[in-house]
Structure 1
Amino acid sequence: MNHETPLSRRRLRTWLRLLRVTRATENRLREYLRLTHETTLPRFDVMAALYNSEEPMMMSELSKRLLVSNGNASTVVNRLEKDGLVERQAQEKDRRVVKVSLTDAGRATFQAQAVGHEKMVNDIFETLGHEEIDMIRDLLRRAEDRKAQSK
């Protein structure tokens, strides 16, 4: 492809390539989590969000951070709660507001999963060095900033 190809077409092809890389990466991570930890990527993502939060999270905040519906987040949290990995805390002032946090068992489980997850991501992107990673992150930030400006 050269600069004679319209820029809009090149942008479209770049978007499609980003999708392919994302889907392939997610598929490998899903398979790893399923085979090694008998869990799913959505469960891992919920636990990661809770692990990285300094305080218990409201369900609405959790679903917003994960870019999923409240119903999807609730379904995953229900299963994690049943397994003893998360706990819900209803708020005294408004019992409809529920916050979620990891239990001690949930923190330990996530830490074990996160080590292998990081190794898998590292292996997937092993051909990229510091400069390439910085370049990709900078370019994606620019695209993200452009999206924020158009709102």
Structure 2
Amino acid sequence: MNIGDVLTPEMVITALWVMTFGCIPPLLIIPLFFKKMRGRMEQIKDKDSSWNSIMMDALFLGMISAFVGYVLAPKVVEGEEPYISLLAILVLVSSAVLIMVFGILMKKFKWDWLKNYALPLSMISAMALAILFASLGVR
């Protein structure tokens, strides 16, 4: 099985456009609205410091819930039975394992330089593993 058997040119082009358009809003929002948003966050933090951790925890749980829901939702392909994607589950788990490994490396060897690279490296590695798993026939 080749990568071309799994991905069509239309799928790749669609992914590229989605990623491109996904990068544009932060480029506009941050310069235009970040100062105001930061000021409001600081006001809330100054009133009660526990709200800051509550908001960050809620944001994190919301993001994880959205990803887990998407990963575990049955996939529907025309003309086939719905299935739960083992590929998506493997990629999610491998990304989580990689970020934990990077965290352990940072603590054990005091690699502070890895802080800024741990998330991108785990994401890129998980994407590479997704390609590997898909080429092995995992669906």
Per the TM superposition, whether the score is higher than 0.5 is no
TM-score by length of 1: 0.27
Which structure has greater strand proportion?
1
Which structure has greater helix proportion?
2
TM-score by length of 2: 0.28
